[in-house]
Amino acid sequence: VKKIAVLTSGGDAPGMNAALRAVVRTANHYNIECFGVREGYNGLIHDDFTKMGPRSVKNIIGAGGTILRSARSLEFKTKEGRQKAYDNCLKHGIDGLVCIGGDGTFTGAKIFNEEFGIKVIGVPGTIDNDIFGTDNTIGYDTALNTAMEAIDKIRDTATSHNRVFFVEVMGRDAGFIALNSGLATGAVDILIPEKKDSIEDLFATFERAEKAGKSSSIVVVAEGEKLGSIYDLAKATKAGFPDYDIRVAILGHIQRGGSPSCADRVLASRLGFGAVTGLMEGKTNVMAGLQSNTLVFTPFEEAIKKHNEINQELMLLSEILAI
Ligand code: F6P
Q: What's the Cα-to-Cα distance from 44 to each of 7, 17, 96, 212, rounded to whole Å?
A: 9, 19, 13, 59
Coil/strand/helix, residue 165? strand
Q: Are 102 and 170 in contact (CB under 8 A)?
A: no
Task: Say if strands 217-222 and 163-169 run parallel, antiparallel, or are unpaired.
Answer: parallel
Within a 10 A sphere around the Cβ of 3, how many other Cβ atoms?
A: 16
Average pLDDT of span 138-144: 98
Q: Which amino acid is at 165?
A: F
Confidence of residue 280 (pLDDT cuts 50, 70, 90): very high
Confidence of residue 323 (pLDDT cuts 50, 70, 90): confident
DSSP 202: H
pLDDT digits (tens, 9 = 90+) for 153-179: 999 999 999 999 999 999 999 999 999
- Measured between alpha carbons, how far is 98 from 118 in angstroms, rounded to an integer? 11
Confidence of residue 36 (pLDDT cuts 50, 70, 90): very high
Q: Are 153 and 146 in contact (CB under 8 A)?
A: no
Whole-structure pTM value: 0.97
55-58: long-range pairs with CB below 8 Å, 24+: 56/24, 57/17, 57/20, 57/21, 57/24, 57/25
- pLDDT exceeds 90 at position 307: no
- Concatenated DSSP letters for 271-293? HHHHHHHHHHTT--SEEEEEETT
128 is catalytic: yes
225 is in an annotated binding site: no
Which of 30, 12, 142 lies closest to 69 in space, CA to CA? 12
Q: Are 283 and 297 in contact (CB under 8 A)?
A: yes
- pLDDT exceeds 90 at position 23: yes
- pLDDT exceeds 90 at position 5: yes
Task: Quote the pLDDT of residue 13.
Answer: 98
Phi, psi of 109 (to 5 degrees): -65, -40
Ligand 1: atom nearest CA of 72 is 15
Phi, psi of 106 (to 5 degrees): -70, -30
pLDDT digits (tens, 9 = 90+) for 252-279: 999 999 999 999 999 999 999 999 999 9
CB contact set of 108 (below 8 Å; sequence gap of 6+): 9, 41, 73, 76, 77, 99
For residue 32, the CA-to-ligand 1 centroid distance in Å is 33
Pocket test for ligand 1, best of 12, 130, 140, 172 (most atoms within 8 A of CB): 172
73 is in an annotated binding site: yes
Q: Is the dihedral of CA 144, 262, 58, 41 positive or negative?
A: negative
Pocket test for ligand 1, best of 103, 127, 251 (most atoms within 8 A of CB): 127
Ligand 1: atom nearest CA of 130 is 1
- pLDDT exceeds 90 at position 114: yes
Confidence of residue 145 (pLDDT cuts 50, 70, 90): very high
Average pLDDT of span 20-31: 98
For residue 145, the CA-to-ligand 1 centroid distance in Å is 17
Q: Which residues line ligand 1 (CB under 6 A)?
A: 11, 102, 126-128, 170-172, 223, 256
pLDDT digits (tens, 9 = 90+) for 78-113: 999 999 999 999 999 999 999 999 999 999 999 999
Query: How many residues are listed for the chain in this entry?
Result: 323
Return mean pLDDT, the chain. 97
Share of the chain above pLDDT 90, in %: 98
Share of the chain above pLDDT 70, in %: 100
Q: How is the beta sheet containing 96-101 ordered, strand by strand?
A: 49-51, 33-37, 3-8, 96-101, 120-124, 286-291, 294-299
What is the value of ipTM here, to two decimals?
0.98
Average pLDDT of span 110-127: 98
For residue 172, the CA-to-ligand 1 centroid distance in Å is 6
Pocket test for ligand 1, best of 66, 170, 253, 255 (most atoms within 8 A of CB): 170
- Measured between alpha carbons, how far is 101 from 80 in angstroms, rounded to an integer? 22
Q: Which of 48, 128, 141, 197 is catalytic?
A: 128
Cα-based angle 262, 265, 269 (whole degrees, multiple of 5): 140
For residue 253, the CA-to-ligand 1 centroid distance in Å is 8
For residue 141, the CA-to-ligand 1 centroid distance in Å is 16
Phi, psi of 124 (to 5 degrees): -75, 105
DSSP 7: E
255 is in an annotated binding site: yes
Ligand 1: atom nearest CA of 256 is 4
Alpha helices (H) along 193-254: 199-211, 230-240
